[in-house]
Amino acid sequence: MPNLPNTSSYTDADIKTLSSLEHIRSRPGMYIGRLGNGEHQDDGIYILLKEVIDNAIDEFTSGFGKKIEVEVKEDGSVRVRDYGRGIPLDSVIACVSQINTGGKFSTDENNRPFAFSIGLNGVGLKAVNALSDVFTVTSRRGGKSMTAFFKEGILEKSERGTTPEENGTEIFFLPSASVFPNFHFDPKHLKRRMQNYAWLNSGLSVYLNGERYFSRKGLLDLLENKLEGEALYPPFHYKSDTLEFAFTHIGSTDEVYYSFVNGQYTNDGGTHLSAFKEGILKAVNEISQKPIEASDIRNGIISAVAVKLTNPIFESQTKNKLGNTDIRVDIVNQVKAAVAEALYKNPAMKAAILEKVAQNENVRKQIQAVKKGAKEQAQKTVLKIPKLRDCKYHLCDYDSKKKQEEKDKCAASMLFLTEGDSAAANMISARNPDYQAVFPLRGKPFNCQGKKKDTVYKNEELYFIMKSLGIEESLDDLRYGKIVIASDADVDGFHIRILLITFFLTFYQPLVLSDHLFILETPLFRVRNKKRNIYCYNERERAAAVSELGKGCEITRFKGLGEISPHEFGQFVDEGIRLQPVNIDNVKNIDSMLQFFMGDNTPERKDYIMRNCFFDLT
């Protein structure tokens, strides 16, 4: 039996009160979500940067300052300078160190310092301060300045002075090496964020290490950049004080949406996106001579929608989904009026949309015919899907749950797509049945590249995956927040990953674009001696473990997930789970990429591999 801590003593001396910054450092995940090392676009270091830039954006949105400078240095330190009003000098220290302190809590609708803001929780800059080894803030207002220096969230000193520089706030921070070990900023993620800021704030210049990001047409520029293939009609663009959107249709049947609230990307949508969809449907129905199904107008649409709200309500600290219900009617009415007017005035746009609707209707009816052929199969899965080991809580049930604990489990729900029964058996034993489900694959999935949607109904395994996920009609009923590909780290395992990614990109592309698809990372090696086990995910970690444990340690190479015992496996799917998101850098290249790597062009592909592969013959 291990030595357990003595819990019999519980006195007043055991009661601790943490300062706000101490609490952030002790529970960083509560404030910024995932920590990570910078490989994923939502890792903590990017959230810290985002919190700082969001404040600068709030100044621009309120009409102050048209330029933001961002510098990210090799050592990981960051400087952000805006040219807004600057933090009031007497409040500088409080605004960066005391939770629930800031200028965004005013309830005076006629005299709010910030009309629209993302950061309404009073945490942002405090979290950056607390989670940085070094943090410096300088505010400049009317020729005077105030600078405060912090170390690990603790004030070291402050200085007042005069300055010839323009008004504004400047933040310098170095993320904590203990909170974010071995972190690095990926230039790709940084550039994507800066470009989004520019698209969402037309007229604002954002400089990243001297490179300018600027947009004149806002979401219209975003849409034109994201368009894959030829638009069926010129994109329609609308902008008011609180709502901006742009959309068009393309030849595919995918729905692609980019939705934002006060500049925050909401990859899970929310009430603003559902209201936008409803408004378009009502507008097209108004000019059509017969009722139109929602899916017939949405299939093939690519759009971007952004709203500005004085009091946004998000469903989590990471702000992925908007929860305000009071905005629906206004957005529906604005979208319907703008789109209907455009359709009446633009016969070519009207004709193109109605033609696309007719095409979608024909495809839908063809699929319905296939569905009837699969009716017997569907009846078998009404109550139970073969081999699916389901969990108790599901993403689609989030809104119906009353307790926050249950909502959190719904949001954390995930489905593991495992390679074979042996890996599934270990996963089933090690998982948390409240929010982790397991679906064992039978061999290699079907290659869906270039195939039509009826393939899903004709292939039993793909059909069961679709039914398990609840995405037959739309992503609105998605049952799991994360779909996790759990295959071996060998040739066959990599092939299975690629086949599954091809399936999702071919038929359910929005699921991937909204960050729901992941790959499970499991250790390749176990290095141990009589006292300690160290699990390693790559050769570098293995070498470090061997060096740490010394000579005579035992090294085990895991060839497959089935080789890892359930007792060992549990730690790799609990709070320490490592997930690699499947991200798409450029949606324009998806079809051509799939055609090249998964299509019937073996000679060209072989030639590409031979020219680009590195062979180590030593």
Q: For residue 86, what pLDDT is reported?
A: 94
**Residue 46 parent element (H or E):** helix 44-61
Residues 6+ apart with CB under 8 A from 472: 466
* 219-373 placed in CATH 3.30.230.10: yes
The two tokens of residue 235 are: 């994109």
Cα–Cα distance between 206 and 473 in angstroms, integer? 40
Q: How far apart (Å, rounded) are the C-alpha atoms in residues 501 and 498?
A: 5
The rounded distance, in Å, linking the Cα atoms of 91 and 535 is 48
CATH architecture of 21-213: 2-Layer Sandwich (3.30)
* Beta bridge partners of residue 436, listed in sequence order: 414
Helix, strand or coil, per DSSP, at residue 63: coil
Between strands 414-419 and 436-441, the pairing is: parallel
Give SS3 for 355. Answer: helix
Residue appearing with tokens 């015919």 = 369
Phi, psi of 145 (to 5 degrees): -140, 160
SS3 518: strand
Kind and range of the H or E element at 80?
strand 78-82
- Amino acid present at 343: L
pLDDT at 316 (0 to 100): 59
What does pLDDT average to in each consecutive run of 10 residues of the chain (618 residues)? 54 72 78 80 88 91 92 96 94 85 51 46 77 96 96 93 95 94 91 92 95 94 85 94 93 86 84 95 92 91 91 70 89 96 95 93 81 57 73 90 88 91 85 94 89 85 92 87 90 91 91 90 88 88 90 85 77 84 78 82 79 61
Q: Give first-to-last CA distance, the chain, whole Å.
A: 48
DSSP 226-255: H--S--SSPPEEEE-SSEEEEEEE-SS---
**For the whole model, what pTM was predicted?**
0.73
Q: With contact defined as beta carbons under 8 Å apart, do 481 and 467 qualify?
A: no
Rounded distance, CA 58 to CA 309, Å?
12
Strands (E), 97-178: 132-141, 144-151, 154-162, 168-175
Topology of the domain comprising 375-522+568-612:
Rossmann fold (3.40.50)
pLDDT for the residue numbered 456: 86
